[in-house]
Amino acid sequence: MNQRRLRFHSILLSLLLFCSLAFSACSDTSAELPDQVLQAGFGLSGESSNLEVHFIDVGQADCVLIRTDEHAMLVDAGNNADAQLIIDYLDDLGIEALDYVIGTHPHEDHIGSLDSVIDTFEIGEVILPEKIHTSATFEDVLDSIEAKGLSITPAVPGEEYELGEASFLIFAPNADYGDNLNNWSVGIRLTYGSTSFVMSGDAETSAEEDILEAGYDLSADVFKASHHGSETSNTREYLEAINPSAAVISCGVDNSYGHPDASVLELFEELGIDVYRTDEQGTIIAISDGSNITFSTAPDAEGANASNNTDANASDNAEADDSSEATGTANGDSADDIIVHITQTGERYHAAGCSSLSDSDTEVTLEEARALGLTPCGRCNPPE
């Protein structure tokens, strides 16, 4: 990860932290406050609430935080060693409760720190596939569930759950996969307004076939690449059914599995799917306003030319004609370098010295301002 990304990340976190603190100062019984009160102090852009999907960089593992208004949920919880990182990340956002935690399947890189998450936060429902595993990591999760007086909600395809104004439908697992834990992965389609996200853990080819056969609407703007971008998942048929504009790959730097696989990256490029990678870009945040999705960073510049690719002819053309709905901030690198000014609660970004900045004035890059959903001020004509 380079310095600029680190800096952006910390600025964004500071902003998020500020919003959370401003909000939690009002009350620590947030769930009882009316929506209008919550939205006034909460929305990143100062307007009504957004849906945020945080693909937290936990190395060769998965951990996705989803939140909107005062609601939040976690899909997978990294490896055992990631507990403090995940707890700190949620703490920094002022999150005290998770409406749902989903452990997609009992592999350590998905449920590793689920026990610590359950121990630490107020938990609504724990959703797991109906597959028992004998590992110590899995037993730790069961112990935490029991100690908290919770019970397991089995993942049943067709069940729909509400998360504030968002909702998610469970579409997998669809069969008894015996000891193939990956294929037991819980799959969800998360929708918010007209935007949607699909994620299905480490489900492999045969599970993807069963998902397609089950006939659910899988269409989504953003797809969390299955199994860290492995070639044992992410079939063409599955991708075509989802038809995403963007894919996020959660994997570790130089991981020993060779994830993501070069053939998967080539397929994403062929299908015109922008790629975001936690190994190259760190934590990636997608923000939906209900009709558009903005990413905290531009798509991975290397695209299909990334390290594992052996095809010398792969081109960068997919980056140039960016017509995807998930627009990101892919207007070259300039937006990274241009500094604009924002306020704590305003919906606009400004040029230096704008009269709107009299009460608060924070420097961010144009890219960051766009990622926060801000639009240019009409008075000071900042760079666009």
* Strand 274-277 relative to strand 339-342, pairing: unpaired
Query: Using CB under 5 A as the criterion, what x/- string covers residues 322-361 for binding Zn ion?
Result: ----------------------------------------
Q: Which of 67, 71, 107, 133 binds Zn ion (CB under 5 A)?
A: 107
Q: Does 182 bind Zn ion (CB under 5 A)?
A: yes
Q: Which is nearer to Zn ion, 109 or 210 (CB)?
A: 109
Edge to edge, what strands does the sheet with 222-224 contain? 160-163, 166-172, 187-192, 195-199, 222-224, 246-249, 274-277
Q: Which range, of 145-153, 202-210, 243-251, 322-330, touches Zn ion by CB under 5 A? A: 202-210
- 249 vs 286, beta carbon nearer Zn ion: 249
**Closer of 49 and 230 to Zn ion (Cβ):** 230
* Contact status: 202 vs Zn ion (CB under 5 A): yes
- The distance of closest approach from Cβ of residue 304 to Zn ion in the complex, given in angstroms and rounded to an integer, is 22
User: Using the 8-state DSSP alphabet, how is residue 263 labeled?
Assistant: H
* Given 76, 82, 109, 115, the residue binding Zn ion (CB under 5 A): 109
Cβ-Cβ contacts under 8 Å for 262 (sequence gap 6 or more): 304, 308, 309, 310, 311
Interface with Zn ion: number of residues (CB under 5 A): 4
Q: Does 204 bind Zn ion (CB under 5 A)?
A: no
Cis before 383 (ω within 30): no
Measured between alpha carbons, how far is 75 from 55 in angstroms, rounded to an integer?
Answer: 10
Q: 316-342 in b/e burial notation, b at 16+ Cβ within 10 A?
A: eebbeebebebbbbbeeeebbeeebbb
Residue written as token pair 């797809």: 223
> What is the strand order of the sheet 339-342 is part of?
362-365, 339-342, 348-350, 375-376
Q: Which is nearer to Zn ion, 96 or 108 (CB)?
A: 108
> Judged by CB, which is closer to Zn ion: 107, or 277?
107
Comparison of 78 and 94: residue with beta carbon closer to Zn ion? 78
Query: Which amino acid is located at 89 in the chain?
Result: Y
The region of 66-74, 180-188, 216-224, 259-267 touching Zn ion under the rule CB under 5 A is 180-188
Closest contact distance (angstroms) between CB of 295 and Zn ion is 22
**Size of the chain, expressed as the number of residues it contains:** 384
Q: Name the site residues for Zn ion (rule: CB under 5 A).
A: 107, 109, 182, 202
